[in-house]
């Protein structure tokens, strides 16, 4: 899977590389600020918000699964989960197949908060898209999808 492209890529002008890097850095900063703002709004740490959002349509998650998705050590996830358990947003249940594993699920309060967070996030996205001309929206979404795919491919090539 870690293969280089078979044909040489055309040279990319330095100004495009520079502009791309600046835009990506600015977008990453905007996303980080948005995530922190959203976490503050709901009285959570940013990592707790990211963890909560992983549940989405999932009924149960394990600490190992959350650690993999958040790309952090399992010991860090234990602290994040403990904070969410203390707030009554997540509960632990023993796995019926393996008592060494705890299954994590949202409490009704956690589900309610996740619903609020999801609605708020959807509204923020709607507002952002309002600032883009209607005739450009589809092209931008398609371009962002292509960018995401390229970023994942580059990550796999560099691993």
> Tokens standing for 62?
């394990």
The number of folded domains in the chain is: 1
Give the burial class of 130: count Cβ atoms within 10 A of its Cβ; 0-12 exposed, 13-18 middle, 19 or more buried. Answer: exposed
CATH of the domain at 48: 1.10.10.10
Question: Are 154 and 146 contacting, i.e. CB atoms less than 8 angstroms apart?
Answer: no
Q: How many CA atoms lie within 13 A of 30 on its CB side?
A: 9
Residue 8 lies in a domain: no
Residue 154 lies in a domain: yes
Does the structure show a pLDDT above 70 at 142?
yes
Residue 111 CA to residue 130 CA, distance in Å, equals 29
Does the structure show a pLDDT above 60 at 1?
no
Residue 10 lies in a domain: no
Residue 44 lies in a domain: yes
pLDDT digits (tens, 9 = 90+) for 11-68: 999 999 999 999 999 999 999 999 999 999 999 999 999 999 999 988 999 999 999 9
Residue 7 vs residues 3, 10, 70, 124, 148: alpha-carbon distances, Å: 12, 9, 35, 41, 22
Residue 57 lies in a domain: yes
Residue 3 lies in a domain: no
Domain that includes residue 88, residue range: 15-158
Residue 74 CA to its chain's centroid (Å): 17
């Amino acid at each position: 899977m870690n293969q280089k492209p078979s044909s040489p890529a055309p040279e990319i002008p330095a100004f495009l590389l520079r502009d791309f890097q600046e835009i990506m850095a600015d977008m990453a900063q905007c996303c980080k600020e948005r995530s922190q703002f959203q976490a503050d709004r709901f009285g959570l740490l940013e990592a707790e918000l990211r963890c909560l959002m992983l549940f989405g349509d999932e009924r149960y998650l394990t600490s190992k699964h959350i650690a993999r998705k958040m790309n952090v050590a399992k010991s860090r996830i234990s602290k994040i989960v403990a904070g969410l358990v203390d707030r009554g947003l997540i509960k632990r249940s023993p796995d019926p197949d393996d008592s060494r594993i705890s299954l994590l699920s949202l409490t009704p309060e956690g589900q309610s908060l996740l619903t609020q967070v999801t609605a708020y996030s959807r509204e923020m996205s709607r507002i952002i898209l309002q600032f883009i001309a209607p005739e450009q929206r589809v092209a931008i979404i398609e371009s962002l999808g292509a960018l995401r795919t390229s970023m994942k491919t580059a990550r796999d090539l560099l691993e």
